[in-house]
Structure 1
Amino acid sequence: MIQSGAPVNIVNHDNITPLHDACIQGQTLCARLLLDAGAQVDIRTVHGNTPLCNACAAGSPECAKLLLERGATANPTLTALTATPLHEACIQGNVDCVKIMIVEGAHLEAYDIHYGTPLHAACVKNHLDCARALLNAGANVNAVKFHETALHHAAKVKNVELIELLVAFGGNVHARDNLGRRPIDYTKPGSPSALCLSHCERTPLSLQHMCRLTLRTALGRRTEEVMSKLHVPCRMLSYISFY
């Protein structure tokens, strides 16, 4: 079709281009052919999606890498109808795409009106690995959307591992949302998630936990990089290391 002169930037009524379609299907070779023929890498649909948003939603790290190599914007302007590529990866649970976007400098605190931050999105959709990748990269564990934290969402999806992860990174178990509810108020009494949160509420932070939180607060996104270069005994490094 390209050789026959078909316009590579042709759009349908929703402003969807062939490149959008190739990326939402994870068709890297088709995307490459379109880009080589002059397809616009950051063209947006009527809802504001870029091809990179589609690649991340589809869980295609190959397409995502290709688009970024061709100049795709890692942080397109948010609209009322769309999220960032990082949000899309978190919503769908595509951790490989999440890690790619983090490396490319995606904004960890970008705010989507439907989900909040990417961490909120990962927790709403119950994607533990995505949440872990974001937290290790320095995402704010206590960011709020209408006073809701990621921990509120973890409680709602009843994921004990996710709750423990957020608490380990400093999640505030006493935070109240716009209804005045704490995370534990979204659990069933006696359930594993309720017991976990109850224990966290009653138990003071250990010295190890406080050391880890202090270190991460001081270093932020540089935590993993700096800790990998510390010349300290392995036991001490293990003591202050997160997941």
Structure 2
Amino acid sequence: MSGEGRFVFTPAALRSLQLDEDMLESYKRKRQLASGYMLTKQARHRVGSDTRSCTFVRPPALCHDLVIQNALYTGDVEAVQRFFPRGVTSNLIIKPQGGDMRWVARGEGLWSLTYEQELTTPLHITAGRGFVDCLSHLLQRGASVDLAPGGNTALHEACDSCQSQCVKLLLFHGANANAVSEDGLMPLHMCTRPESLECAKYLLQFGASINRQSLDEDNTPLHVAAQNGLLGHVELYLNYGASLDKKNYDHVTPLNAACSQPQEKKDLERYTKVCEVLLRAGASITTEDRDKQSPLHMACKNVNPDLVDLLLAHGASVNNICYNGDTPMQNVLKVVGYKTEHQPERVVRSLLNHGSLRVWPEALPKVLQYCSVSPRTIEVLLNAYDRLKITDNWLKAVSPEIFAEHQGFYESLSYLQNTPRSLQHLARWNLRNFLQGRVHEVVPKLQLPTFIKNYLLLEFRDYLH
């Protein structure tokens, strides 16, 4: 260690840190170029075609006054009006205190930690926090509406924080609805929460492009809405002519995006509704991403039973294989242990009823080991076979804790170790084997009592016989 909390690095470490420093400097130059572009654009806007006007626009001043910053961050409209009276520019650059810590070279092979701070403006601060009165006053004092010293315009900030009235006000004062941020995003791409629906409506009314893609990931606004399960946004964008089958960088369509987004149990219903709207509008059920994962692959991986049923009803293929060699059935079985609350047994049953390939019998003990926390999943899988060669290894695959928790079911499994399946089950197996992948279609049409139909469709009974 040397003085002032600094220390000398080894040559190898210095080379690595120098690379980080070079990347940081490149990032800063990119931001400065973006900022310079926005300033030049603003100058052109102010000057227009009148060559007799002043062709030089003074760049915004850097504001260090904490009193002014505090007034902006707290939305104190009276203070803002005092600090920005008529004739005083509101185009200020503010460097907030704090930020992320980064290593910065100080010369002579010494590095020290310092804060990397984002630049902002009074317009960004008030728009992002919903201080409409303060924002209105700044705009009336000539604030540059498309200035972006930190990479985003104030319109981006307002959309990101779902401040619809601020979005409306900025657009009325000429904000560019298609402004591209330093990260390659338009304001519509920033509408990622249900509360941002009004923001999206205003943007579209003021000419936002509905199919323009982000620079890095090639996402359209519809991709973003589908990824976030935003039903209202999806319906809105489709009404404005959003493309259903445009692919992003990973060859993902909006439908694929909705199916592949990780989903908590509370989110399953809204993602299903989003996919229902997309399918009703004509989204392709067969489009695969770069890894050959179909929407059904993804829905199974996320264990969304209603979505799986929806996709199967629209003709999704149950036995397509992705680049990893996995079918939709394998996708769901891999995550059963983590998604028991999602009812994985329903997904497995639907796939089998639609003709999914069964698990190779020799692999069943391994499946039992990983899926034993969901006895109903095991029940459905085993009821797809007419005979089972159960050994002691099967029972050892179930931990004592899980066996005790689901004792009735696993005792019924142990009884089958030296006992053939019941005649009732064998009759079911023969009929299902005859129908193959048409079970889901034919059985409901048979003139049979409901309880027999349910039995043929692998209804859960919580024991094996």
Q: TM-score range by the shorter chain?
A: 0.7 to 0.9
Mapped to 2, the partners of 1:89 and 1:115 lie a distance apart of 17
Residue 58 of structure 1 pairs with residue 193 of structure 2: yes
Residue 129 of structure 1 pairs with residue 273 of structure 2: yes
Mapped to 2, the partners of 1:36 and 1:151 lie a distance apart of 44
Q: What is the deviation of 1:80?
A: 2.5
Mapped to 1, the partners of 2:159 and 2:272 lie a distance apart of 25
Mapped to 2, the partners of 1:79 and 1:9 lie a distance apart of 19
Segments of 5+ residues of structure 1 without an aligned counterpart are: 208-243
Q: Which residue of 2 aligns with 1:3?
A: 140
Contact 1:47 1:81 in 2 (8 A): no
Mapped to 2, the partners of 1:175 and 1:47 lie a distance apart of 36
Q: What is the deviation of 1:82?
A: 4.9
Mapped to 2, the partners of 1:90 and 1:12 lie a distance apart of 30
Mapped to 2, the partners of 1:174 and 1:75 lie a distance apart of 33
Contact 1:115 1:121 in 2 (8 A): no
Mapped to 2, the partners of 1:186 and 1:81 lie a distance apart of 25
Deviates more, 1:193-202 or 1:167-176: 193-202
Q: What is the deviation of 1:41?
A: 0.8
Q: Which runs of structure 2 are paired with 1:1-243 in the superposition (5 Å)? A: 1-13=138-150, 15-55=151-191, 57-59=192-194, 60-114=196-250, 116-125=252-261, 126=263, 127-145=271-289, 146-188=291-333, 191-201=345-355, 202-204=436-438, 206=441
Mapped to 2, the partners of 1:83 and 1:113 lie a distance apart of 8
* Deviation per residue, 1:101-148 (Å, 9 max, x gap): 111111111112247111111111241111111001100011111211
* Deviation per residue, 1:55-88 (Å, 9 max, x gap): 2x13322111111111110000343335111111
| TM-score, scaled to structure 1 | 0.79
Contact 2:251 2:288 in 1 (8 A): no
Mapped to 1, the partners of 2:211 and 2:174 lie a distance apart of 22
Larger proportion of strand:
2
**Structure 1 residues 139, 181: CA separation in 2 closer, same or farther (over 3 Å shift)?**
same
Deviates more, 1:33-42 or 1:178-187: 178-187
Contact 1:86 1:101 in 2 (8 A): yes
Give secondary structure in 2 for the equivalent of 1:203. helix
Contact 2:299 2:307 in 1 (8 A): yes
Give secondary structure in 2 for the equivalent of 1:9. coil
Contact 1:23 1:58 in 2 (8 A): no
- Report the aligned-residue RMSD: 1.8
Give secondary structure in 2 for the equivalent of 1:187. helix
Percentage identity across paired residues of the two chains: 31
Q: What is the deviation of 1:26?
A: 1.5
> For residue 160 of structure 1, what is the amino acid of its counterpart?
P
Q: What is the deviation of 1:176?
A: 1.2
**4+ long deviations beyond 3 Å:** none
Give secondary structure in 2 for the equivalent of 1:140. coil
> For residue 183 of structure 2, what is the amino acid of its counterpart?
H
Q: What is the deviation of 1:180?
A: 2.2
Mapped to 2, the partners of 1:81 and 1:181 lie a distance apart of 26
User: Based on CA coordinates, which of the two structures has the bigger radius of gyration?
Assistant: 2
Mapped to 2, the partners of 1:149 and 1:51 lie a distance apart of 30
